[in-house]
Structure 1
Amino acid sequence: MLFVAQAGLALVRRVVEIVLILLVAIMLGTVLAQVAGRYLFNFSIAWATELATFAQVWMVLLGAGYAMRMRLHVSIETFVEMLPPLVTRLIMVPVALLCLWFLWVVFEGGLLLMEIGGMQTSAALQISMQVPYVALPISAAYFALECAIRFGAIIFGGAAVTTGGGVRVD
């Protein structure tokens, strides 16, 4: 059972990495096409800006979970580092619960926004606004997964609270 969970987690993480790379490529390609169209051919691609914006929204939201996985979020650990390990782990419980609660609120809000988005279409691409809005619940769920893994490792003693001052050192 543990192997299946690890394989599933590895698959989810790999999919997120590939999607992030594709989103950067979409942003780069559409912005370059728009610039080339405007300045070389005197022609504006109406949907390019909107597509790049939607790709950026998806990339930022999914990237937050990826940053959690890679320990790239800013954190202030000076006080916590001075505490005994048991106290540190106890302090991390409410911190983890608050983080997960916030992500739950984002998840629920994203679902509500998707309902509204089902009645709207985007201006240039003419797609349902559910497409960009679904980024909220998906990214909140992924972020919560990475958050639970990271905080769980700290709380149950599998990892130290320190991350090198918020900068990766490995």
Structure 2
Amino acid sequence: MDGLGATMAGAAQAAWPLRIAQGALRLLRRLVDLTLILLLGIMILAVLAQVAGRYVFNFSIGEATELATFAQIWMVLLGAGYAMRERLHVSIETLVEMLPPLLARLLMLPVAALCLWFLWVVFDGGLQLLEIGAIQTSAALQISMEIPYVALPVSAAYLALEAALAFGGILLGLKPITTGGGVRVD
């Protein structure tokens, strides 16, 4: 019995980093969800202000247009990570569905590698773009262009995390390879 207790204590010690990582992932996902909701609200209000300014007061509000544009950029780029988490990206699964499960999982290796390489290129390019943004200001809002440009490395990193989790689950056999022909069943 003493050996069993030691084994259970060892397993509990090994499990705490996993629990911390899972909690951090839940917190990050919740933060992304709330940010997406906030960005949608900002975009809606900015567009409504622009429409009201243009059609009620016969005056164009350039700041509202620019704010809506920046909110949309952030929303689309962060939303790509959300879509990866929910498996909402378009995929062609015909070949994968015809292969035996092991071979289909092996096929996911180069797919995952290409996706993560592309996201690295976007991340690195985003960092380079930040250097340019540091010396530029936006036309209407007069804010540093680092604010919209930082969306590239931030969203690429988040999308890479979600892609690594999705592909990792598939490669380890913890998640199904296909999503059921594009039909959500959950």
Counterpart residue number, 2:109:
93
* 1:29 partnered with 2:18: no
1:161 equivalent among 177, 180, 184: 177
* 1:2 partnered with 2:15: no
1:139 equivalent among 137, 142, 155: 155
* 1:44 partnered with 2:71: no
Check the 8 A contact 1:72/1:167 in 2, yes or no.
no
Q: TM-score, normalised by structure 2?
A: 0.89
SS in structure 1 opposite 2:31? Answer: helix
Whichever residue aligns with residue 93 of structure 1, its letter is: L
1:148 equivalent among 160, 164, 168: 164
Q: TM-score, normalised by structure 1?
A: 0.97
Whichever residue aligns with residue 164 of structure 1, its letter is: G
89-98 vs 105-114, which deviates more?
89-98
Deviations 1:63-83 (A, max 9, x none): 011000011001111111111
Counterpart residue number, 2:119:
103
The alpha carbon displacement at 1:169 in A equals 1.9
Counterpart residue number, 2:92:
76
The alpha carbon displacement at 1:38 in A equals 1.6
Count of residues in correspondence between the two structures: 170
Check the 8 A contact 1:107/1:141 in 2, yes or no.
yes
SS in structure 2 opposite 1:124? Answer: coil
Counterpart residue number, 2:10:
none
Deviations 1:100-138 (A, max 9, x none): 000000000000000011010000000010000000000
1:19 equivalent among 26, 31, 35: 35
Which is greater in Rg?
2
2:143 equivalent among 120, 127, 148: 127
The alpha carbon displacement at 1:46 in A equals 2.3
SS in structure 2 opposite 1:47? Answer: helix
* Root-mean-square deviation over aligned CA pairs: 0.8
Whole-Å separation in 2 of the counterparts to 1:87 and 1:153: 15
Which structure carries more relative contact order (alpha carbon 8 Å, separation 6+)? Answer: 1
SS in structure 2 opposite 1:126? Answer: coil
